[in-house]
């Protein structure tokens, strides 16, 4: 017996509706409406336009227009961000006040964040012989977009904003292939060369003047579980990377107690579960990890925020 397309469509729709009722996973207007991914994407674009005017506009901006355009963009991004934070926190007066306060904190510190980002651009220019100028770095290096959004998202994360910081960094992750959790604390003069496949976990702390290559993972070693075998949330799970460290491609450094000492170098493809002292070189030799002393290096300037 043939079944009509109308009958099939009705059957398929009913199966989905049954799934919605039994399994959840809805974002409907009768409930608290969650932030929109489309709106977060637009917010990230607006933030990049504020951080690097003329680099995300389809062309340069006339200097005579800069004052007016900046004021318009500040107003628009602030309003969009307030709306999204309010949605993430819940639709009540306390949430509205919290959203307004978070927007104020961010915009007060946005010039400071921009200064740190410019130090990141300097680090890329000084650390990459293929970089002919800072303009090319801002326009074409994917890590600039990833770290720009992460630095803004990190401030919102510290302010206790739910959902939005992670949505922002995942927007950057999808565009760049660089996955930096908004909880990660990252010092200035930070450079990710190439960048594809880099993963930096939530509780990772990175010092000043650190350079990573593609495929580097700064991750968790293991997870503490409760009596029911469920993973416990929170806790220090990711490594600390001190000032002046370089980590070469596809190296993996795991564990909340792992510390990579200042001015150390981690070789490519190294899998590291232990701390190393400052000025160390870590590499594979005949399937063995060797840690040897390095010559002293000059101090790294402080650009942290």
List the structure tokens of 19. Answer: 């799934």
Q: Is 281 exposed, middle or buried (0-12, 13-18, 19+ CB in 10 A)?
A: middle
Residues 145 and 250 in one domain: no
pLDDT tens column, 144-181: 999 999 999 999 999 999 999 999 999 999 999 999 99
* 172 and 41 share one domain: yes
* pLDDT given for residue 282 in this prediction: 96
Among the listed residues 147, 138, 118, 124, the one whose alpha carbon sits nearest the alpha carbon of residue 60: 138
Instruction: List residues bridging with 247 in a β-sheet.
Output: 212, 266
Beta-strand relationship, 246-247 and 265-266: parallel
Percent of the chain with pLDDT over 90: 71
d(CA 237, CA 270) in angstroms, rounded, equals 19
Whether 243 is in a domain gets the answer: yes
CA 237 from chain center: how many Å?
17
**What tokens does 302 get?**
């402080």
Banded model confidence at residue 297, pLDDT cuts 50, 70, 90: low
Nearest to 218 by CA among 196, 235, 241: 241
Query: Of residues 195 and 31, which shows the higher confidence score?
Result: 195
Residue 264 and residue 192 in one domain: yes
For residue 77, the number of C-alpha atoms closer than 13 Å in the C-beta half-sphere is 23
- Structural domain ending residue among the three candidates 177, 201, 233: 177
My answer on whether 100 and 124 are in the same domain is: yes
Distance CA 263, CA 246 (A): 7
Average pLDDT, the chain: 91
Q: For residues 26 and 36, what is the distance between their CA atoms, to the nearest angstrom?
A: 13
The pLDDT-based confidence of 35 (bands split at 50, 70, 90) is confident
pLDDT of residue 29: 61
Q: Which CATH number covers residue 251? A: 2.160.10.10
Q: What are phi and psi of 170, to 5 degrees?
A: -75, -30
Same domain, 190 and 282: yes
CA 100 to chain centre: 23
Bridge partners (DSSP) of residue 62 are none
Please check whether residue 241 lies inside any domain of the structure.
yes
- Burial (0-12, 13-18, 19+ Cβ within 10 Å), 73: middle
The predicted pLDDT at position 185 comes to 98
Q: How far is residue 52's CA from residue 136's CA, in Å, rounded to a whole number?
A: 13
pLDDT reading at 228 higher than 90: no
Tens digits of residue pLDDT in 46-61:
999 999 988 887 766 7
In angstroms, the CA 95 to CA 162 distance is 12
pLDDT at residue number 75: 97
Instruction: Please say if the pLDDT value at position 221 is more than 80.
Output: yes
Of the residues 124, 147, 177, which one is the last residue of a structural domain?
Answer: 177
Say whether both 62 and 157 belong to one domain.
yes
Are 275 and 156 in a shared domain? no
29, part of any domain: no
pLDDT for 180: 98
pLDDT of 22 reads: 86
Alpha-carbon distances, residue 233 vs 226, 230, 290 (angstroms)? 10, 9, 34
Query: Whole-angstrom Cα distance, residue 196 to residue 190?
Result: 16
- For the cut 90, the answer to whether the pLDDT of residue 230 exceeds it is no
What does the pLDDT read at residue 92?
75
Cα separation, 50 vs 192, whole angstroms: 22
Range of the domain at 228: 184-298
Residue 305's pLDDT band, with cuts at 50, 70 and 90, is low
Q: Do residue 152 and residue 201 come from a single domain?
A: no
Residues 171 and 52 in one domain: yes
Q: Are both 173 and 110 inside the same structural domain? A: yes
Number of folded domains that form the chain: 2
In the numeric block, which tokens belong to residue 226? 């409760």
User: Is residue 105 one of the residues assigned to a domain?
Assistant: yes
Residue 21: the pLDDT is 85
Residue 103 has pLDDT above 80, yes or no: yes
pLDDT above 80 for 304? no
- CATH number reported for the structural domain that contains residue 140 in this entry: 1.10.3130.10
Tell me the pTM. 0.87
CB 178 within 8 A of CB 192: yes
Q: Are 240 and 204 in contact (CB under 8 A)?
A: yes
Burial string for 111-134 (b: 16+ CB within 10 Å, else e) reads eebeebbbbbbbbbbeebeebeee
Report if residue 209 sits inside a domain: yes
Domain termination site, one of 177, 194, 214: 177
Of 81-85, 216-220, 298-302, least confident by mean pLDDT is: 298-302
pLDDT digits (tens, 9 = 90+) for 261-295: 999 999 999 999 999 999 999 998 876 778 888 87
214 C-beta neighbours (distance < 10 Å), count: 17
In angstroms, the CA 151 to CA 181 distance is 10
């Amino acid at each position: 017996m043939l079944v009509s397309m109308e009958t099939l469509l009705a059957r398929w729709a009913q199966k989905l509706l049954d799934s919605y009722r039994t399994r959840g996973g809805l974002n409907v207007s009768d409930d608290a409406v969650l932030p929109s991914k489309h709106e977060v994407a637009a917010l990230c674009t607006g933030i990049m336009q504020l951080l690097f005017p003329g680099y995300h506009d389809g062309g340069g901006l006339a200097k005579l227009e800069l004052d007016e355009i900046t004021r318009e963009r500040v107003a628009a991004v602030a309003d969009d961000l307030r709306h999204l934070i309010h949605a993430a926190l819940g639709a009540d007066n306390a949430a509205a006040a919290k959203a307004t306060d978070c927007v104020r904190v961010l915009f007060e510190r946005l010039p400071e964040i921009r200064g740190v980002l410019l130090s990141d651009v300097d680090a890329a220019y000084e650390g990459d012989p293929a970089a002919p100028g800072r303009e090319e770095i801002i326009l074409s290096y994917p890590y600039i977009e990833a770290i720009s959004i992460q630095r803004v998202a990190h401030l919102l994360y510290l302010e206790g904003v739910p959902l939005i910081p992670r949505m922002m960094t995942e927007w950057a992750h999808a565009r760049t292939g660089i996955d930096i959790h908004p909880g990660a604390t990252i010092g200035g003069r930070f450079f990710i060369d190439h960048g594809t496949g880099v993963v930096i976990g939530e509780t990772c702390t990175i010092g000043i003047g650190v350079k990573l290559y593609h495929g580097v993972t700064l991750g968790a070693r293991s997870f503490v579980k409760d009596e029911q075998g469920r993973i416990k949330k929170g806790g220090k799970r990711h490594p600390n990377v001190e000032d002046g460290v370089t980590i070469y491609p596809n190296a993996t450094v795991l564990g909340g107690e792992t510390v990579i000492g200042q001015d150390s170098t981690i070789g490519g493809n190294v899998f590291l579960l232990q701390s190393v002292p400052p000025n160390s070189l870590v590499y594979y030799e005949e399937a063995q990890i060797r840690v040897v002393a390095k010559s002293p290096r000059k101090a790294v300037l402080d650009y942290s925020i």
